[in-house]
Amino acid sequence: MLKLGVNIDHVATLREARYRGMNHGEPDPVEAALIAEEAGATGITAHLREDRRHIVDRDIRRLRDSIRTPLNLEMAIVPEIIEIALAVKPYIVCLVPEKRTEVTTEGGLDVVGSEVLIRETCTRMRDAGIRVSLFIDPDPRQVEASARTGAEFIELHTGAYAEAFDQKRERNVEIERLVAASKLAHGLGLNVNAGHGLNVRNLPLIHVVPHLIELNIGHSIISRAVFVGLPTAIREILAAMAGYKG
């Protein structure tokens, strides 16, 4: 069965719009995580950014202590965040690129260009009992480099596919890239997740991508939850994921 990791970053975004810099506020991303678990999520994802624009340090500690499903901590490879990860010990970290000017993560990690640093980070995490995933574009060079770092997982960036969804030709090119990258990664011994820009409308076509273990979805779920509630929004995504053959 294809697993669903629910990203609760944008619950914190809404909180920070009014309560930034305070030690309280609503909505509470930890409460959202618990509701997501009850609705069928098999994991919770949160991105602790350097600028703390949404998720903040206390959220990560509370999530680690409160949720029953695995915590996936998205993070850039910077010393401060690495030390937090090593202290909190989430189930898995997903290493991502990070730019202060971006609204959300715009592309995959350049594993080819940072292979030594990523390998060192993977070793530190593995020694602490933390699994590592690398958020990468569906590029064979990045997949091959990922396999050399010691990471157990990759997460394929589906953003280009999501953006091209309404242009059939471009969409098909992106699907072919995802299929090829997943096959290559599986052959190299990597576990494969995927995420970014996925929603109820574009998710069914992702079923053609083989070897997927988990999808990480956040923005579309939180956006839909504004109108129908978080449990319903999650169940709609789970329905779109149902029947995946792997």
Residue pLDDT, tens place only, 119-168: 999 999 999 999 999 999 999 999 999 999 999 999 999 999 999 999 99
Active site residue 207: no
List beta partners, residue 7: 45
Over 70: is that where the pLDDT of 54 sits?
A: yes
Question: Domain spanning 3-241: which superfamily?
Answer: Aldolase class I (3.20.20.70)
**16 an active-site residue?**
no
Identified catalytic residue from 54, 155, 196, 214? 196
What pLDDT shows up at residue 23?
Answer: 87
* 38 among known catalytic residues: no
Q: Which of 10, 37, 54, 74 is catalytic?
A: 74
The yes-or-no verdict on residue 98 having pLDDT over 90 is no
Q: How many CA atoms lie within 13 A of 110 on its CB side?
A: 4
> In the chain, where are the structural domains located?
3-241
Choose the catalytic residue: 47, 157, 214, 236. Answer: 47
Burial of 99 (0-12, 13-18, 19+ CB in 10 A): exposed
Query: Does position 102 have pLDDT exceeding 50, yes or no?
Result: no
In tens, the pLDDT along 210-242 reads 999 999 999 999 999 999 999 999 999 999 999
- The SS3 call for residue 237 is helix
